[in-house]
Amino acid sequence: MKRKKKMSSAKIILMGFFGIIIIGSLLLSLPISHAEGVEVSYIDALFTATTATCVTGLVTLPTVSAWSVFGQAVILLLIQIGGLGFITVFAGFMMIMGKKLDMEERILISDSFNLTSLSGIQKFVCKAIFFTFIVEALGAFSYMTVFIPEFGAKGIWMSVFNSVSAFCNAGMDIVAENSLCNYVHNPTVNITTMLLIITGGIGFIVWFDMERAIQNKRKKKSGFLSLHTKITLSVTAFLIAVGAILIFIFEYNNPLTMKDYSIGEKIMASLFQSVTTRTAGFATVMQENLSESSAFVSMLLMFVGGSPAGTAGGIKTVTAFVLILTFLSTIKNKRTVDAFGRQISYDSIKKAVSVFTSSFLIMVLSTVLVLASGGGNVLDVLYETVSATATVGLTRNLTAGLNEVCKMIIIMTMYFGRVGPISLAFALSSDKCEENRVANPVEEISIG
């Protein structure tokens, strides 16, 4: 008898996110979810549910004024599920109920976080959930020192919402319709938001690896960091620093952004812009006022995004690093791709190329479709589609003015950007991995 064919992990992830988005959109369509006097169409409810679940942050309606407290609570729940991953949330719920994870569930969690081992999966999930709630709580308390004096008791809800949104790199807030632009000079709001973004974007693997290394060092054991952690930390620090420096230079005399700021305020605003492009989506300066040079730098940073097994999107820092190393190895005529005294596997290189190519094609296709549907000028549309593909949420004031066709295009772009091009490709292909039984003859072709 033939065994019953089971769904692959990729298909479960794909369908799971789709189901959550649909449920979220139905809840947001209810009148109880809308602010008094605000009418919300289903397309806007679907757009909001997608941007929350995919932790993107692009919105057609202002989160602070279009939704009731119930609607904002639904959005916050979608952000939390989207940031942690619905599989992690489900696994955590099952463990709370006292159920142990079986082998299929462990494999599913491993695939969702792109882990290389099934060892310690249950412990990993518990630590990830606990770590998330602790960091979000600390962030909320920090926000409260600013929002409670300004907004009273309402500041508590605002602080919790913003903390979860920042850690999950969602970019949605209930402070003002212009994001965090009113707090561009406030160190507490800026630093708290940046730390939450970086903490969530680096990824759970890195934090737990650093914890292991510190504990081993205290016990006088080998405390070396893994290659993944070294690459993630190095690339993250490099991109944030270089991005901030370039934006500082390009916006220094821009009268629409930072010209009248003090040097300290310019540094803080530049650093925030560099950090938020790591797929967070908050803004302390209006993106449409950025110079074209800064907009281009921001798009590059957005496309790279955060790191694997975290709450951020993009092609990921490790992917970009592997591609650059492969390029350098090729021009140096080296047979292997090496980093930090280790050789990167051929499978990792192939996967990096596939992730980059898939994301690039999604971004290009969505750009062409939005332009063809009357979305706006090229720079604004490209900024929007890169933001959607990498699940960032920054916009040059384009999202709210999109027609229904363009909204659907951006919805699909955010969805594909969140579930991952590789997961999508696996989900749409055969569950069976076919291997060539006969090797074809090798023949050289002209490249370049």
Spans of all domains in the chain: 9-424
Q: What is the pTM of this model?
A: 0.89
What is the rounded CA–CA span in Å between residue 409 and residue 365? 10
d(CA 313, CA 307): 8
Query: 67 - beta bridge partners?
Result: 34
Backbone angles phi, psi at 34, to 5 degrees: -95, 145
At 67-100, the pLDDT tens digits run 999 999 999 999 999 888 766 777 777 667 667 7
pLDDT value, residue 435: 57
Please give the structure tokens belonging to residue 285: 């300066």
Q: Considering the chain, what percentage of its residues have pLDDT values greater than 90?
A: 57
Q: What are residue 137's phi and psi, to 5 degrees? A: -65, -45
In 3D space, the residue among 151, 205, 204 whose CA is nearest the CA of residue 173 turns out to be: 151
Q: What is the pLDDT of residues 327-379, one digit of tens each?
A: 999 898 888 888 888 888 888 888 889 889 999 999 999 999 999 998 788 99
Residue 376 DSSP code:
-
Q: How far is CA 446 from the centre of its chain?
A: 38
Over the stretch 116-174, which tens digit does the pLDDT of each residue have? 666 667 778 888 888 899 999 999 999 999 999 999 999 999 999 999 999 999 989 99
How many whole angstroms separate alpha carbon 405 and alpha carbon 401? 12
Helix (H) or strand (E) holding 421: helix 421-428
pLDDT > 70: percent of the chain: 86
Give the pLDDT of residue 8.
63
CA distance 138 to 158: 14
Q: What is the pLDDT of residue 327?
A: 93
Distance of CA 60 to the CA centre of its chain: 19
Burial call 422-434: b when 16+ CB within 10 Å, e when fewer:
ebbebbeeeeeee
Beta-carbon contacts of residue 12 (< 8 Å; ≥ 6 apart): 87, 108
Give the pLDDT band of residue 251 (cuts 50, 70, 90): very high
Phi-psi category of residue 103: left, alpha or beta, with phi > 0 → left and psi -120 to 50 → alpha: alpha
Answer whether residue 5 shows pLDDT above 50.
no
Quick: pLDDT tens for 99-119: 776 666 676 676 666 666 666
Rg for the chain, CA atoms, rounded: 22
